[in-house]
């Protein structure tokens, strides 16, 4: 299907490689597991957010905005990527973060400070109740100082950011042709829904015969089905898109949230250690570690028995390992 992309900046280092995990695949006894290495979209900018921000920040430039406001958890990968990109593009950046900062700053938060973002932190309850007002008040304050603000929602997951993984799906189609594989399933972590939504639309637009699965790392299946649909509707509302949304299936793997968002059981930490040692691939405890643990568990349960190859999208998040260093058990 011909696709007209909206304005886009070149920020991510793409195409990223698609790599086969030989030892993990052999151990799991199921389909061959391939990893789309979107943890390599940049060094400090690594991960899925850079792909979305190519479109989101381009839109901010179209609207002549010079100040970006966005939000997320204290260790948000999205906020870190936004802060660094704002520094790269010469834009003012304000981050509204949920949580009480530990001192000294660690992981993504340390990088937010290094990038010179104006970091505002709020107790989780206050953030949850007042996020909309916090964003609007910050925008109003910036306007008073003569700036033109642009607000990016959590995870850049909306109709604009969705384009990031519509475009990434085009890359996947080429990867599959290059490796001569026809995976029937593509799995990613889902946190604010934009990666899953972009892939869901992208595989349909690029005629890839695969099912996209988001592994819930917070909330639940009902929440993500509604959130992904809302982002897809926003996307269709903003742009001329040749897709009938009711033809898309939104698939969520639930049951692996564990103790909660950004909290993982010891199994997830063990999986992260196992994959790092078997393949030299580092996952994080908030998103990709949980999602990959779910993938291995679901392979064992037979969910993916109908395919020879399966693709896991590594969406980055390595800086989330450091603040959780005490959760890893090392016996050597």
Residues engaged in binding ligand PLP (CB under 6 A): 47-48, 77-78, 155, 157, 189-196, 287-288, 315-317
Of 223, 235, 170, 171, nearest to 197 by C-alpha is 235
Q: Is 76 a catalytic residue?
A: yes
User: Parallel, antiparallel, or unpaired: how do β-strands 18-21 and 32-37 relate?
Assistant: antiparallel
* Count of beta carbons in the 10 Å neighbourhood of residue 179: 15
| DSSP annotation of 120 | E
Give the residue with the Cβ less far from ligand PLP, 30 or 193: 193
Q: Are 6 and 54 in contact (CB under 8 A)?
A: no
Asked if 48 and 98 count as a contact pair (C-beta separation under 8 A), the reply is no
Cβ 311 to ligand PLP, closest distance in Å? 15
Closest contact distance (angstroms) between CB of 105 and ligand PLP is: 18
The residue (of 142 and 317) whose beta carbon lies closer to ligand PLP is: 317
* Residue 241 beta carbon to ligand PLP: minimum distance, rounded to whole angstroms: 19
Sheet (strand 251-253) strand order: 18-21, 32-37, 309-314, 185-190, 211-216, 251-253
The DSSP 8-state label assigned to residue 240 in this structure reads -
Contact 168, 37 (CB under 8 A): no
Whose Cβ is closer to ligand PLP: residue 206's or residue 314's? 314
Q: Which is nearer to ligand PLP, 111 or 142 (CB)?
A: 111
User: What is the spatial distance between Cα 324 and Cα 57, in angstroms, rounded to a whole number?
Assistant: 31
**Cβ 38 to ligand PLP, closest distance in Å?**
9
Selected catalytic residue, list 76, 157, 169, 192: 76
Q: What pairing do the DSSP bridges indicate for beta strands 18-21 and 185-190?
A: unpaired
Shortest reach from residue 143's CB to ligand PLP, in Å: 28
- By C-beta, is 24 or 283 nearer to ligand PLP? 283
Which residues are known to be catalytic?
76
């Amino acid at each position: 299907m011909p696709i007209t992309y909206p304005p886009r900046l070149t920020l991510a280092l793409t195409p990223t490689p698609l790599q086969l995990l030989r030892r993990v695949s052999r151990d799991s006894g199921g389909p061959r597991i391939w990893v789309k290495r979107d943890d390599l979209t940049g060094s400090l900018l690594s991960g899925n957010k850079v792909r979305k921000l190519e479109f989101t920040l381009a839109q901010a430039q179209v609207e002549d905005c010079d100040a970006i406001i966005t939000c997320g958890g204290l260790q948000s990968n999205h906020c870190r990527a936004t802060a660094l990109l704002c520094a790269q593009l010469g834009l003012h950046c304000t981050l509204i973060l949920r949580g009480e900062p530990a001192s000294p700053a660690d992981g993504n938060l340390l990088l937010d400070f290094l990038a010179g973002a104006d970091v505002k932190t709020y107790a989780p309850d206050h953030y949850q109740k007042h996020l909309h007002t916090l964003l609007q008040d910050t925008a109003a304050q910036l306007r008073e100082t003569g700036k033109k603000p642009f607000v990016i929602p959590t995870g850049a997951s909306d109709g604009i950011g969705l384009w990031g993984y519509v475009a990434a799906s085009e890359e996947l189609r080429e990867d599959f042709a290059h490796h001569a594989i026809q995976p029937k399933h593509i799995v990613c972590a889902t946190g604010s829904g934009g990666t899953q939504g972009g892939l869901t639309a992208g595989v349909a637009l690029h005629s890839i015969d695969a099912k996209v699965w988001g592994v819930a790392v917070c909330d639940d299946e009902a929440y993500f089905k509604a959130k992904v649909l809302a982002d897809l509707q926003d996307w269709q509302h903003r742009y001329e898109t040749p897709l009938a949304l009711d033809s898309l299936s939104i698939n969520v793997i639930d049951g692996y949230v564990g103790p909660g968002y950004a909290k993982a059981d010891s199994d997830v930490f063990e999986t992260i250690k196992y994959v790092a040692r078997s393949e030299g691939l580092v996952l994080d405890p908030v998103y990709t570690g949980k999602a990959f643990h779910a993938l291995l568990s679901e392979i064992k349960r037979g969910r993916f028995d109908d395919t020879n190859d399966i693709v896991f999208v590594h969406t980055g998040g390595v800086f989330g390992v450091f603040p959780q260093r005490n959760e890893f058990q090392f016996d050597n």
